Structure 1
Amino acid sequence: MLICVLAFLPFISTFHGATAGQPYGETRMDYDKAYIEHQDIIKAFNRSLKQWLYGTNFKIPQSYDDYKCISFKKDNVSMTQLNFTAYYLKDSQPGLKQLYGTLCKYNGDADADTVKLRKQPNCIKLSVTKGTPEEEFRLIYSDYQKCSILRAPSQQSGKGCIVLLTVSAVRTGLPKTCNATYQNLCGTEYTFHKVFDDNCKLT
């Protein structure tokens, strides 16, 4: 499952620059019509540059302590599939893993009119081997330039979040709007666990 790739923990630090938000996050925003324009997963990932795993709002197993500098780069994308490669360092040695994704639409308890507004996929079911059990993640916010926030339903009682940043933001942290959105969608009470190592070489 993808969590075995995303759940690498080189460093933990408390989230900085917090703004006022929902204490434990708000999952109804995952399918609220006000956020639909920021939840096009194809647009968010259909780029040539890598996206770096910056951090999560849930603790990651210590078995991944040896992994650092995790990034993701799209291999190919269609309306139904999104495949990409995860790059990382393990014990200072470079490695990679192919990831296979089936795209889907998640509308939660949205009414019929809101469901009609969603034209593009906003979720992905990922596996490390084609045909094996999949782990679902939802794009709950992206500015399509520097920041994307994914919901990890299997974590924090359905309120788990993963933050990906592009090379232009990963050293400085979440941009202001993304920061505020994170606080509302992912909560202010959960400790933010920074995964990105500032010593990583950005390639």
Structure 2
Amino acid sequence: MHLLVFAVTQFITAILANSYNLQYEEIRIDAESKYVQYQDIYKAFRNIPDFYWLFGFNFHSTHTVNKSCVYFDVETLTEEGMNYSSNFIRFGKRDKIEYIGKFYSTTYKNMSVDQERDQHNSLYAHTKLGTWVPMNYTLIYSDYRNCSIFRVLQAERGYGCMVLLTNATAYTGMPKACQQLYTNACAKYHSFENVFNSTCQRT
């Protein structure tokens, strides 16, 4: 009987621990008024000096299994959306997937009142071939130069994060301000999984 109680207790503890991990990342930044200035998604792609590498996630991404050196080529960019491709190496061969993306806005909180944004902060993307489930990303922070952090809304029950770094920055890692925000908003209960490595080169 004691063994049964112990086993059940351990099982419940494991479930609660897993639930805790999923529920308590800090997501208030996503909609806090003081961070709105860092959440213009059009500006995050328009202002960068070169291109973005997919630096990594705070979760295990099934989309990048067996892929390395993932980077993004933006083909067209407007204030309403962008067409782009994800380029990568898989099983030693280079490949790419083309996407169509539409920008949209979520509300933010100002004194606990929902407010409309002046600029879009989110991206709805689907493949041109329609072979993947569409994805939703919300920009939670960009320095508009080297680093952008996105909430991956379909991952980890909305607590997933994705880090993009420009070519000028990826080889040295996240800038200090970017790292601090990532730690506060994405890393309290999740471990970082690198996608980029120092051998990556754009073709």
- TM above 0.5, one fold? yes
1:134 deviates by: 2.5
1:84 deviates by: 0.9
In 2: Cα distance, 1:185 partner to 1:102 partner: 25
Determine the structure 2 residue equivalent to 1:128: 127
Report the more deviating stretch, 34-43 or 74-83: 74-83
Matches within 5 A, 1:111-122: 115-116=115-116, 118-122=117-121
Determine the structure 1 residue equivalent to 2:7: none
1:82 aligns with 2:82: yes
Structure 2 residue matching 1:59: 3-state secondary structure: coil
1:114 deviates by: 6.0
Structure 1 24/112 Cα, relative in aligned 2: closer, same or farther at 3 Å?
closer
1:112 deviates by: 8.4
Higher alpha-carbon Rg: 2
Structure 1 residue matching 2:189: 3-state secondary structure: coil
Structure 1 85/111 Cα, relative in aligned 2: closer, same or farther at 3 Å?
farther
Equivalent pair of 1:48/1:73 in contact (CA under 8 Å): no
Structure 2 residue matching 1:140: 3-state secondary structure: strand
Determine the structure 2 residue equivalent to 1:152: 152
CA RMSD, Structure 1 to Structure 2 (Å): 2.4
Matches within 5 A, 1:52-201: 52-61=53-62, 64-107=64-107, 115-116=115-116, 118-129=117-128, 134-201=134-201
Structure 2 residue matching 1:101: 3-state secondary structure: strand
Percent identical: 31
1:135 deviates by: 1.4
Determine the structure 1 residue equivalent to 2:52: 51
In 2: Cα distance, 1:41 partner to 1:80 partner: 10
In 1: Cα distance, 2:98 partner to 2:109 partner: 33
In 1: Cα distance, 2:65 partner to 2:197 partner: 12
Deviating 4+ runs (over 3 angstroms): 108-114, 130-133
User: For each residue in 1:67-111, what CA deviation from the matched residue of structure 2 results, as whole angstroms up to 9, or x when unmatched?
Assistant: 111001211122222111111112222212211101100126666
Equivalent pair of 2:108/2:115 in contact (CA under 8 Å): no
Code of the aligned partner of 1:164: L
Query: What is the number of equivalent residue pairs in this alignment?
Result: 179
1:178 deviates by: 0.3
Point out where structure 1 has 5 or more consecutive residues left out of the alignment. Answer: 1-22
Determine the structure 2 residue equivalent to 1:12: none
Structure 1 158/65 Cα, relative in aligned 2: closer, same or farther at 3 Å?
closer
Code of the aligned partner of 1:129: K
Structure 1 residue matching 2:60: 3-state secondary structure: coil
